[in-house]
Amino acid sequence: MPRYCPYMLCLILAVLLVPVMPLYTQAQVIKSGPASCPGVALTFDLCPVRNGAGYDQALIDYLIEHKIPATFFMSGKWIAKHDPQVRDLLQIPFFEIGTHGDVHAHLPLHSAEEQKQEILGPVRMLKAKYSHDATLFRPPYGEFNDVTVEVTRALGLQFILWNVVSGDPDPTITTLQIEDHLKRTVKKGSVIVMHANGKGRHTHEVVQGLHRQFLPQRNLTPMTMSDLLVCNGQATQ
């Protein structure tokens, strides 16, 4: 079993705690696509980083070279520091761009108005600077409360979580350990959370393994998040 650092523990707890939250919250939070859909959403968070480039160029190049659909959730701070990369990602027709909060705040610790501003930050940036209407939102750290869900709904955004944690930011686990975990947990309609900001040391290798072996062997097809949600049981790629 992989050894999880505090970051991974936070993500796992977020997934485990969702089922015990009020039904109101459960009804609004999307964690997967239809169980009948032979698709899998490869989703990548672009959180702000203190050190490094904040962008996994090799990973992005591989996705583009092999035309692998993917969904990216950008934080406002990340967008502000990566203008060329934002423009590049927006030009890829099989990529989808969502948002991930403005400064990557712990949303449940804030008021409704503060949460609204945190959620709206990158949405406004993408619209004003890039003429892009972002409709998908993923909360930083996977943390939320009923206020978060209500604010997201009121803003007309879809609240996207995940049901498969890759663990790619954990420096203590290997590519093989991540792949073994994914083999046990990925199924039809799965949403996998990974990172494209350079924090995932093995993300590139893991995606290569998914694309070349694991997904084809199980007759699963990568899809964008939006395509996964409307999938009627037939792969679109």
Where are the chain's structural domains? 6-22+53-184+196-223
The string of pLDDT tens digits covering residues 168-194 is 999 999 999 999 999 999 999 999 999
Residue 41 has pLDDT above 70, yes or no: yes
Quote the percentage of the chain above a pLDDT of 70: 86
1-5, 9-13, 89-93, range with the lowest pLDDT: 1-5
Asked if residues 33 and 231 have their Cβ atoms less than 8 Å apart, the reply is yes
CA distance 228 to 36: 11
Residue 234 has a pLDDT of 56
Asked if residues 186 and 49 have their Cβ atoms less than 8 Å apart, the reply is no
Residue 5 has a pLDDT of 45
Pairing of strands 70-74, 95-99: parallel
Residue 22 has a pLDDT of 42
| pTM, 2 dp | 0.88
Residue 28 has a pLDDT of 84
Residue 36 has pLDDT above 60, yes or no: yes
Element (H, E) at 45: strand 39-46
Tell me, which fold does domain 6-22+53-184+196-223 have in CATH?
TIM Barrel (3.20.20)
Q: Which residues pair with 40 in a beta bridge?
A: 222
Residue 236 has pLDDT above 70, yes or no: no
> Count of H helices and E strands in the chain?
11, 9
CA distance 226 to 71: 9
Mean pLDDT on 64-91: 98
Pairing of strands 136-137, 158-160: parallel
Average pLDDT, the chain: 90
CA distance 178 to 204: 12
Residue 188 has a pLDDT of 97
